[in-house]
């Protein structure tokens, strides 16, 4: 085994420099000093790399940029020298680093989440041939988080001894010397962790999970407000990235939060005053609509590599006009979307919605009637709503036979989505494991229904694009033929998904799952009615 | 792990200069790289300021009594390690003959390294012996520095032919022209002919330059002391061309 690096904390940079000086008295050595080095931690908006136990450090070295992927414990995994820091994984050249990052990061932008600025002094310990046999780095870093509320933090000053392979003896004597020096305290915490802690950044809470903590006894209206407030937070959090079109997932998450908001408004019935529900429902429907076209184009652009790969190699280039068409329209739709976000209607919607949610009184004016279900404990409301939504899914699913047309499947897909949202809103009210496994079972069915629907929409869209492109004079016969082949493939795939449905539904509607749903939701819901 | 060997029956043609500079560039790109100095004269080891000494010598190493792992040393450059030369390597062919499977021995020794490194560069001593055959068995790509003389091109032909008669798909041969003086019209003519005659010949040409000789003074790869000079650039181009060629 090769020895691993060892870090010490020192009181001040001077104390660290003194330590370097003491080492240099005992052996040949030279110092490399840089007044200001900069390293940036790259990660996605939702910290995908960190949440997978890693960190991606980018530092300028000469004219190049060097990327280093390490585990959070500091074990290095991959290094890659590039000319520019990548904005997306697909900007990287083929390399082990790219292969490792691809499945984690997917289509998300690699953003600078944290910058460390530090003067660095490295003592290189040498042998008689002026060969480096060990290094000691002294780093007094300031951490900067772009866009954070605590913009800067001074990190503990670290002195780190790095071994060189094959020179263990020299490293061991260096360590024993360092351990004898006054004021050096061995430490295991990394600069990255210290920086996150001091800046108050919590990457682990930035995934898609709603994480709404409810207890069964709070009134339904208060619970609904809490759910809606969390969703509004998500909408606001993603708005910046939507406007700047940083990557496709900002808009995706924005739209999911809008859909969930709307679903909660209609599904958690009778908890808000009727005029409130009636006012906001169409507004969020509008927000869903105006954000739709851009999302569609995002989706098709993301699918392009897959589309290309599904065709024989010699006709793949014929899809180039489609790529151009999609990019151009995506730009156009993005501008339209930004206009919508700039509109009076949008600004007012968010503002008034926020006001309603935070209004401590709960109602706009004292003479508003209390909604019929407002005071009912949320535990009962949740079970009632989930049980109803579940029954609806079962009923519709059972009515679908092998020869049924696509229409009832689409309706079932929507029913399932409603049920899914309810399960997620109210997750914290139930046994985590039980509800988790029901969500999983439902998700499988949803994947099948989702793919089936998706494949149908893709065919229709491709036909529409082909029409448009033909009108605009963008498509040659070759391109139209290639797109035709694509549609054929999608149709075949859709048939496959359709054939899987019966089995998937039977699994979801199994006796075991029915018993679980009943145990979790039915009893409490009958108690309510 | 991809294994390169710098190979030429002749000495003094730029094998070591090539192995040292290319291994350095591979590591700089981010690949985990090892260079094994197989030449008892230990030039590559010297360039990296490492002591040319292997405990127990070639014998123990080749018998597998001393794992290669324990002999590896880190160079001054991130991601680049070296297996030093040793004086006893001069008898390596004898040691190999005595082993059970003379031609396979080297390849099987390398096996445990394949997870640790992306690239291995074998810097060979000039000879035609059992060592060469072991190197062929262990190698994916033979880097053949070729100086622009009619004689060297003929030697390259012979190597080509030998590898063809050997019949194996590995190693692939990657010859390139080096120590070229563009001012000499004879060099120009021979280069043109060489490229035409050898379809495998890489396009990059390493020029003749005293800076390459200065590697011995600086004891460092070119990019460390003359990064923008012509030969350093030429080696960068050569490495880029090789990466491109072998990924096809
Ligand atoms: N392109 C070049 N231009 C000038 N001198 C070179 C060049 N390449 C190598 N040399 C010098 O020629 C000598 C032999 O090179 P070397 O790489 O050691 O060859 P080999 O390993 O084939 O014996 C060394 O002194 C080296 O510095
Ligand atoms: Mg040599």
CA–CA separation, B127 and B90 (whole Å): 11
- B72 contacts in chain A (CB < 8 Å): 165-166
Largest CA distance in chain A: 91
Provide the residue range defining the domain that includes A95. Answer: 6-204
Cis ω for the linkage preceding A427 (within 30 of 0): no
pTM, to two decimals: 0.89
- Helices B15-29 and B230-246: angle between axes, nearest 10 degrees: 70
- A78 contacts in chain B (CB < 8 Å): 30
Q: What is the pLDDT of residue B95?
A: 81
Q: What is the pLDDT of residue B128?
A: 57
CA–CA separation, A413 and B236 (whole Å): 57
Note the ligand closest to the C-alpha atom of B208. Answer: 1
Q: A303-312, A402-411, B1-10, B91-100 — which is least confidently predicted?
A: B91-100
Tell me the pLDDT tens digit for each residue of A455-489. Answer: 999 999 999 999 999 998 888 999 999 999 999 99
CA–CA separation, A420 and A417 (whole Å): 5
Check pocket membership of B14 for ligand 1, CB cut-off 6 A: yes
Residue A11: pLDDT over 60: yes
A385 plus A447 within the same structural domain: yes
End-to-end CA distance of chain A: give it in Å, rounded.
68
What proportion of chain A, given as a percentage, has pLDDT over 70? 96
Q: What is the pLDDT of residue A528?
A: 44
Residue B123: pLDDT over 60: yes
Q: A57-71, A418-432, B143-157, B180-194 — which is least confidently predicted?
A: B180-194
- Atom 24 of ligand 1 has which residue's CA nearest to it? B213
A25 plus A165 within the same structural domain: yes
CA–CA separation, B104 and B97 (whole Å): 11
A391 plus A476 within the same structural domain: yes
CB B162 within 8 A of CB B45: no
CA–CA separation, B206 and A346 (whole Å): 64
CATH number of the structural domain spanning residue A130: 3.20.100.30
3-state secondary structure of B195: helix
A499 Cβ neighbours under 8 A, 6+ residues apart = none
- B49 contacts in chain A (CB < 8 Å): 127, 129-131
Residue A265 located in a structural domain: yes
Residue B111: pLDDT over 70: yes
Of the candidates A294, A291, A326, the residue with the CA atom closest to the CA atom of residue A308 = A326
What proportion of chain B, given as a percentage, has pLDDT over 90? 62
- What domain count does chain A have? 3
Question: For B154-176, what is the mean pLDDT?
Answer: 91
Question: For A124-134, what is the mean pLDDT?
Answer: 97
A436 plus A333 within the same structural domain: no
Residue A178 located in a structural domain: yes
3-state secondary structure of A227: helix
Provide the residue range defining the domain that includes B127. Answer: 2-246
What proportion of chain A, given as a percentage, has pLDDT over 90? 84
Whether A81 sits inside 8 A of B28 (CB atoms) is yes
The shortest C-alpha distance from B140 to chain A (Å) reads 19
The shortest C-alpha distance from A137 to chain B (Å) reads 15
Distances (CA, A) of A218 to A188, A224, A376, A378, B23: 44, 10, 8, 6, 67
Of the candidates B53, B55, B49, B105, the residue with the CA atom closest to the CA atom of residue B84 = B53
Beta bridge partners of residue A76, listed in sequence order: A70
Check pocket membership of B13 for ligand 1, CB cut-off 6 A: yes
**3-state DSSP helix/strand/coil % of chain B, to nearest 5:** 50, 15, 35
Backbone angles phi, psi at A312, to 5 degrees: -60, 145
Q: What is the pLDDT of residue A485?
A: 95
Of the candidates A392, A386, A395, the residue with the CA atom closest to the CA atom of residue A435 = A386
3-state secondary structure of A124: strand
Residue A332: pLDDT over 60: yes
A117 plus A84 within the same structural domain: yes
pLDDT band at B190 (very low <50, low <70, confident <90, very high): confident
CATH number of the structural domain spanning residue B226: 3.40.50.300
pLDDT band at B189 (very low <50, low <70, confident <90, very high): confident
Instruction: Tell me the pLDDT of chain A averaged across its residues.
Output: 92
Q: Which tokens is A102 given?
A: 């691809």
CA–CA separation, B70 and A1 (whole Å): 9
pLDDT band at A524 (very low <50, low <70, confident <90, very high): low
CA–CA separation, A129 and B81 (whole Å): 17
CB A225 within 8 A of CB A357: yes
CA–CA separation, A404 and A402 (whole Å): 6
The nearest alpha carbon in chain B to A62 belongs to B227
- What domain count does chain B have? 1
pLDDT band at A368 (very low <50, low <70, confident <90, very high): low
pLDDT band at A517 (very low <50, low <70, confident <90, very high): very high
Residue A245: pLDDT over 90: yes
Dihedral of CA A386/A388/A392/A398: which sign? positive
Residue B64: pLDDT over 70: yes
Q: What is the pLDDT of residue A255?
A: 97
Whether B73 sits inside 8 A of A165 (CB atoms) is yes
Check pocket membership of B125 for ligand 1, CB cut-off 6 A: no
pLDDT band at B87 (very low <50, low <70, confident <90, very high): very high
The shortest C-alpha distance from A330 to chain B (Å) reads 34
Tell me the pLDDT tens digit for each residue of A501-515. Answer: 999 999 999 999 999
Q: What is the pLDDT of residue A529?
A: 42
A337 plus A361 within the same structural domain: yes
Asked which of A183, A204, A225 is the last residue of a domain, the reply is A204
Asked which of A348, A368, A388 is the last residue of a domain, the reply is A368
Of the candidates A353, A343, A322, A516, the residue with the CA atom closest to the CA atom of residue A435 = A516
A221 plus A362 within the same structural domain: yes
Q: What is the pLDDT of residue A212?
A: 86
Give pairs for B226-233: CB < 8 Å, separation 24+: B231/B206, B231/B207, B232/B21
Check pocket membership of B6 for ligand 1, CB cut-off 6 A: no
Atom number of ligand 1 nearest to Cα B17: 17
CATH number of the structural domain spanning residue A230: 1.40.20.10
pLDDT band at A373 (very low <50, low <70, confident <90, very high): confident
A476 plus A494 within the same structural domain: yes
Residue A141: pLDDT over 50: yes
A29 plus A67 within the same structural domain: yes
The shortest C-alpha distance from B77 to chain A (Å) reads 9
The rounded Å distance from CA B14 to ligand 1 centre is 4
Atom number of ligand 1 nearest to Cα B179: 1
- A81 contacts in chain B (CB < 8 Å): 28-30
How far is CA B188 from its chain centroid? 25
Q: Which tokens is A317 given?
A: 């280039």
Q: What is the pLDDT of residue B10?
A: 87
Q: What is the pLDDT of residue A207?
A: 64
Q: What is the pLDDT of residue A360?
A: 57
Residue whose token pair is 């053949």:
B144
Tell me the pLDDT tens digit for each residue of A432-446. Answer: 999 999 999 999 999
A178 plus A213 within the same structural domain: no
Residue A60: pLDDT over 90: yes
Whether B73 sits inside 8 A of A164 (CB atoms) is yes
Residue A1 located in a structural domain: no
Note the ligand closest to the C-alpha atom of B12. Answer: 1
Tell me the pLDDT tens digit for each residue of B131-147. Answer: 788 889 999 999 999 99
What is the pairing mode between strands A6-10 and A29-43?
A: unpaired
Dihedral of CA B193/B194/B195/B200: which sign? positive
Q: Where are the alpha helices (DSSP H) in A472-510?
A: 477-508
Helices vs. strands in chain B: H and E counts, helices first: 12, 8
Q: A73-77, A149-153, A414-418, A419-423 — which is least confidently predicted?
A: A149-153
A198 plus A275 within the same structural domain: no
State the ipTM, two decimals.
Answer: 0.94
A351 plus A407 within the same structural domain: no
């Amino acid at each position: 085994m090769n020895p691993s690096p060892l870090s010490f904390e020192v009181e001040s940079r001077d104390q660290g420099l003194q330590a370097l000086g003491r080492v240099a008295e005992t052996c040949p050595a030279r110092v490399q000093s840089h007044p200001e080095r900069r390293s940036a931690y790259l990660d996605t908006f939702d910290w995908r790399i960190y949440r997978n136990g890693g960190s991606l450090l980018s530092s300028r070295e000469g004219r190049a940029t060097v990327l280093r992927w390490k585990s959070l414990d500091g074990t290095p995994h991959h290094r890659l020298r590039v000319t520019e820091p990548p904005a997306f994984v697909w900007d990287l050249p083929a390399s082990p680093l790219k292969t490792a990052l691809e499945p984690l990061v997917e289509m998300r932008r690699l953003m600078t989440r944290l910058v460390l600025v530090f003067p660095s002094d490295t003592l290189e310990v040498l042998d008689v041939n002026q060969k480096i046999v060990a290094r000691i780095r002294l780093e007094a870093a300031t951490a900067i988080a772009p866009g954070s509320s605590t913009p800067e933090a001074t990190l503990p000053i670290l002195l780190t001894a790095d071994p060189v392979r094959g020179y263990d003896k020299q490293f061991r004597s260096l360590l024993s010397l360092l351990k004898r020096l006054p004021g050096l305290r061995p430490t295991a915490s990394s600069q990255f962790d210290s920086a996150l802690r001091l800046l108050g950044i919590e990457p682990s809470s930035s995934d898609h999970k709603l994480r709404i903590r409810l207890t069964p006894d709070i009134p339904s209206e208060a619970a609904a407000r809490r759910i809606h407030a969390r969703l509004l937070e998500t909408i606001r959090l993603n708005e910046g990235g939507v406007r700047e079109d940083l990557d496709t997932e900002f808009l995706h998450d924005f739209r999911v939060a809008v859909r969930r908001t709307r679903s909660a408004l209609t599904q958690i019935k009778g908890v808000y005053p009727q005029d409130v529900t009636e006012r906001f429902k169409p507004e969020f429907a509008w927000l869903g609509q105006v954000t739709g076209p851009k999302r569609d184009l995002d989706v098709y652009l993301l699918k392009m590599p897959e589309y290309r790969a599904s065709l024989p190699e010699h006709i793949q280039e014929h899809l180039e006009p489609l790529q151009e068409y999609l990019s151009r329209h995506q730009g156009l739709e993005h501008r339209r979307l930004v206009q919508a976000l700039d509109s009076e209607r949008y600004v007012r919607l968010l503002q008034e919605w926020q006001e309603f949610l935070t209004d401590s009184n709960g109602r706009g004016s004292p003479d508003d009637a209390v909604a019929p279900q407002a005071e009912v404990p949320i535990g009962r409301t949740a079970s009632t709503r989930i049980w109803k939504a579940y029954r609806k899914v079962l009923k519709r699913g059972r009515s679908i036979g092998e020869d049924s047309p696509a229409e009832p499947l689409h309706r079932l897909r929507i029913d399932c989505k409603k049920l899914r949202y309810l399960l997620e809103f109210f997750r914290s009210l139930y046994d985590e494991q039980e509800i988790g496994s029901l969500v999983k079972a439902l998700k499988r069915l949803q994947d099948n229904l989702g793919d089936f629907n998706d494949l149908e929409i893709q065919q229709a869209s491709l036909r529409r694009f082909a029409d448009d492109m033909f009108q605009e004079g963008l498509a040659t016969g070759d391109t139209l033929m290639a797109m035709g082949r694509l549609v054929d493939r999608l149709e075949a795939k859709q048939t496959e998904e359709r054939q899987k449905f019966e089995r998937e539904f039977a699994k979801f509607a199994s006796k075991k799952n029915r018993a679980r749903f009943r145990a979790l939701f039915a009893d409490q819901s009958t108690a309510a009615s | 792990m991809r294994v390169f060997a710098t190979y030429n029956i002749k000495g003094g043609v730029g094998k070591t200069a090539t192995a040292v500079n290319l291994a350095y560039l591979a590591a700089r790109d981010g690949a985990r790289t090892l260079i094994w100095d197989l030449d008892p004269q230990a030039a590559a080891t010297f360039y990296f300021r490492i002591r040319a000494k292997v405990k127990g010598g070639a014998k123990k190493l080749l018998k597998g009594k001393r794992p290669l792992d324990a002999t590896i040393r880190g160079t001054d450059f991130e991601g680049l390690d070296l297996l030093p030369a040793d004086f006893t390597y001069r008898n390596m062919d004898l040691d190999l003959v005595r082993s059970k499977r003379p031609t396979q021995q080297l390849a099987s020794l390398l096996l445990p390294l394949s997870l640790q490194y992306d690239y291995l560069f074998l810097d060979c001593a000039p000879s035609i012996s059992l060592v060469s055959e072991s190197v062929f068995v262990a190698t994916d790509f033979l880097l053949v520095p070729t100086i622009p003389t009619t004689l060297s091109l003929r030697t390259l032909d012979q190597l080509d032919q030998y590898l063809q008669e050997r019949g194996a798909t590995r190693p692939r041969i990657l010859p390139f022209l080096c120590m070229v003086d563009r001012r000499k019209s004879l060099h120009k003519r021979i280069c043109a002919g060489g490229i035409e005659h050898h379809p495998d010949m890489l396009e990059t040409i390493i020029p003749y330059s005293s800076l390459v000789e200065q590697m011995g003074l600086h004891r460092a790869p070119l990019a460390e002391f003359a990064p923008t000079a012509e030969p350093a650039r030429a080696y960068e181009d050569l490495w880029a061309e090789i990466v491109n060629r072998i990924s096809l």
